[in-house]
Amino acid sequence: MVDLSRSLFNPRKVSLAGDLVLIPQFWDKPYFARLKEQADYTFNLLLSEVLVFEHFSLLAGFLGYPQLLTLLEFIRQVREKEVYFLGTAGSLDPHIDRPTILNAVDIRSTSILTHFDPQPAYDLKPFPNGAFKPVRGVTVDIIQRETPDWFKEQVAAGIDFVEMELFPLRAFLGKPFTALLVASDLLAEDGITLFPDRDDLNREFIAAYEAIVRCINERKSDPDPPIPA
């Protein structure tokens, strides 16, 4: 766990009621626009957007862990919140060859992230009822960090996907959280293939978001999630 107790950075905090849903980019823009209309209120936070609903707040619009962790430092008692993460990831498994909802249950570090936290891997929360495929992932610090040698190493370690935020987020929070990812491309030793069906990606992403909202509302004993018509 990262010790930030002696940090000189101590920004003024904002209070957000309920759970926290983190989404780097909401892929279906019309759907996200309807969410903003249905939110109790919205505001901007360091060029990102916060949508506040009855039982949770949604933070969207960031790339990579430095921006995400900076944003989280502005949220009061963020480590005490139930956190859900929804993003996209590159598949390292040739059987995951289309946009598919994945449940990250283990996340590992690579490259310079080993200096960020000496812990090599952390556990994450399984999604309730085993609704989605449990997978193991690895976080990279920058885009295009992947090389053929790196790819071989990850496959040999049984890694299913690669992304850019989960390991530092797990270290920052100091506890497991729930993470769903939608596979958006396939990595192989000879390169990266983007999945061509954007509509399929949007459908899977929306389905993952709605599953998270249902999970939150069931925990709060409210059966009606804020889902656009």
Residue 210 has pLDDT above 70, yes or no: yes
Domain extents in the chain? 19-219
> Model confidence over 116-136: pLDDT tens digits?
788 899 999 999 988 899 999
The model carries a pTM of 0.91
- What was the pLDDT predicted at 173? 96
**pLDDT at res. 5:** 56
Reading the block at residue 218, the tokens are 């069931």
Cross-strand partners of 193: 186
Give the pLDDT score at 229.
59
How far is the C-alpha of 175 from the C-alpha of 116, rounded, in Å? 16
What span, in angstroms and rounded, lies between the C-alpha atoms of 181 and 201?
11
Predicted confidence at residue 180, as pLDDT, reads 98
- 30-89 per-position pLDDT tens digit: 999 999 999 999 999 999 999 999 999 999 999 999 999 999 999 999 999 999 999 999
- According to CATH, the superfamily of the domain at 19-219 is Nucleoside phosphorylase domain (3.40.50.1580)
Report the distance separating Cα 209 and Cα 84, nearest Å.
Answer: 10
d(CA 23, CA 67): 12
Closest CA to 84 of 207, 180, 227, 1: 180
Average pLDDT, stretch 96-122?
A: 90
